[in-house]
Amino acid sequence: MVRTYIKRVNAAIEAQDQDAASAALSAAIPVIDRMVSKGIMPKNKAARHKSRLSAHIRSLS
């Protein structure tokens, strides 16, 4: 489930669509956080994913 949301963000980034990428990231962040709270993903890995995705989105502008 997490990988699906991350792939959606990456697809929007590759398409150079900042609005779609931002919307996809907004949908992905709660899913990533939910996986951390369930113990599926370590918190540092989740933070790294969120940070790198948001940095890629900021670089589009």
Helices first, then strands: H and E counts in the chain: 3, 0
- The pLDDT, as a whole number, for residue 31 is 97
Tell me the C-alpha distance between 9 and 27, whole Å: 9
pLDDT at 61 exceeding the cut of 90: no
Residue type, 37: S
Confidence tier at 45 by pLDDT (50, 70, 90): very high
pLDDT score recorded for residue 56: 97
CA 39/CA 33 separation, integer angstroms:
10
At which residue do the structure tokens 């931002």 appear? 22
- CB contact at 8 A, 38 and 17: no
Is the model's pTM score more than 0.95? no
What is the reported pLDDT for 6? Answer: 97
Distance of CA 26 to the CA centre of its chain: 8
